[in-house]
């Protein structure tokens, strides 16, 4: 019994050794195949690089766009105008309710006197404006200013204005809140442009991923046709299906690996090169650059995995269709 157990264990170890050696040979053949046809290799790697670079740019652009939208959105005035002379004590219950909304970041109160003093300071060079400010019909309202966490979502504010009974007593009937009516156009414009940019980036990524997969598919197909005799010989000596298909999959993965390294280097290099100019234009690129710099190893790994996935799927489709085993 002990002899059988020892023999079985030895057989298992021998089998695992053979499988490991077969895997290493398969990888070596795949890497050798990578260098056989230089032009096809360059074309496949170039398209894969462009694809991964576009995916990289799309992800980065969406992050930068989200940060920029948040920053710009917080600069847009979201104000609820109260009747002239409303005090902070009277506005306190409404402000407490606003602070309790899940999308509210901060709430501040500007009294009629504060608004008047600020307006006068900003327009002190215009005598006619200051004279008009002193008339009874041009008194400024008290204001509740709200900063949102998600600047594109004003649903809670709109519902509050429409339903809060306390606010209805103090709201200025002649002035709509800045996030309602015609005044909400800036917020909607930012939100619409954000959605369009995101959809455009995703669309471009899908198109180039499809093109890249098609080119790698054709590259593997041509490699299969060029190596028909080798494949026939491998079949005759009893090679496994996985051993015959394996080198083509490895070849495609190598395309993805090299393309990922190049695309990541180009992406981070270009981003670093233009970061200062983009910040000067008011684009919030700093947080994204910091994340990429701090986690560059994970970024590279993600790009390599993306390239390997595209290469693997393309090669499996090609071998399944053209490699009759």
| Per-residue pLDDT tens digits for 191-213 | 677 677 777 777 777 887 787 77
Q: What is the pLDDT of residues 38-63, one digit of tens each?
A: 677 787 788 888 888 888 888 888 78
Residue 324 confidence (pLDDT)? 61
Q: pTM to 2 decimals? A: 0.64
CB distance 306 to 260 below 8 Å: yes
Closest CA to 44 of 300, 259, 281, 282: 259
Class level of CATH domain 77-177: alpha beta
CB distance 248 to 323 below 8 Å: yes
pLDDT tier for residue 130 given thresholds of 50, 70 and 90: very low
Angle between helices 241-280 and 38-75 (to 10 degrees): 40
Distance CA 266, CA 272 (A): 10
Eight-state DSSP code of residue 150? S
- Residue range(s) of every CATH 3.30.70.3040 domain in the chain: 77-177
Tokens at residue 304, please?
């390599």
Closest CA to 154 of 115, 231, 98: 98
């Amino acid at each position: 019994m002990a002899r059988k157990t020892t023999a079985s264990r030895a057989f298992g170890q021998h089998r695992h050794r053979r499988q490991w050696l077969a895997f290493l040979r398969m990888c070596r053949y795949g890497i050798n195949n990578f260098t056989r046809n230089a032009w096809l290799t360059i074309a496949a790697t170039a398209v894969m690089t462009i694809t991964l670079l576009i995916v990289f740019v799309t992800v980065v652009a969406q992050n930068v766009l989200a940060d920029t939208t948040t920053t710009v959105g917080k600069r847009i005035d979201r104000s609820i105008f109260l009747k002239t002379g409303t005090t902070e004590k009277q506005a306190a219950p409404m402000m407490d309710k606003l602070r309790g909304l899940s999308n509210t970041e901060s709430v501040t109160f500007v009294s009629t006197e504060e608004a008047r003093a600020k307006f006068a300071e900003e327009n002190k060079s215009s005598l006619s404006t200051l004279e008009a400010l002193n008339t009874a019909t041009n008194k400024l309202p008290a204001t509740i200013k709200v900063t949102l966490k998600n600047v594109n979502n004003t649903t809670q504010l709109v519902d509050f204005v429409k339903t809060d009974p306390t606010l209805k007593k103090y709201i200025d009937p002649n002035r709509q809140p800045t996030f309602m009516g015609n005044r909400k156009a800036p917020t909607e414009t930012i939100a619409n442009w954000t959605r369009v940019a995101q959809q455009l980036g995703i669309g471009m990524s899908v198109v180039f991923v499809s093109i890249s997969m098609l080119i790698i598919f054709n590259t593997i197909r041509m490699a299969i046709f060029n190596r028909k005799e080798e494949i026939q010989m491998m079949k005759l000596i009893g090679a496994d299906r996985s051993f015959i298909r394996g080198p083509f999959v490895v070849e495609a993965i190598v395309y993805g690996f090299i393309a990922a390294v190049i695309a990541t280097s180009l992406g981070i290099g270009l981003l670093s090169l233009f970061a200062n100019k983009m910040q000067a234009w008011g684009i919030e690129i700093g947080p994204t650059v910091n994340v990429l710099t701090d986690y560059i190893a994970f970024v590279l790994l993600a790009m390599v995995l993306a390239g390997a996935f595209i290469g693997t799927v393309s090669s499996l489709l090609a071998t399944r269709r053209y490699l009759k085993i």
